[in-house]
Amino acid sequence: RRSEGWRRINFEVDAGGARLSIDGQLVRENPVLRTANRIMLGSPWDASTGWYDDLTVDLQPL
């Protein structure tokens, strides 16, 4: 089921670790993860449906 409205999801990785925030609120962080070479959207185990609008990948810090 699609949620109402827009959400801004940020995933940042740098020398200080990785951080995931939704609408500006930090929801997860991992100080050990300092590099990332792959992004996966969705689940690799099922055929669930997802919607993505205005997707941007930046290689520069926000």
**Token pair belonging to 32:** 């050990």
Q: Which residues contact 62 (CB under 8 A, 6 or more apart)?
A: 10, 12
Each domain of the chain, given as residue ranges in start order, spans: 7-33
The whole-number pLDDT of residue 6 equals 82
Interior/surface letters 11-20, b for 16+ CB within 10 angstroms, e for the rest: eebeeeebbe
Give backbone dihedrals phi and psi of 31, rounded to 5 degrees, phi first.
Answer: -70, -15
Residues of the chain with pLDDT under 70: 1-3, 61-62
What is the pTM assigned to this prediction? Answer: 0.70
**pLDDT, tens digit, for every residue of 19-32?**
999 999 999 999 99
Place of tokens 């930090």: 26
3 state DSSP class of 12: strand
The whole-number pLDDT of residue 62 equals 61
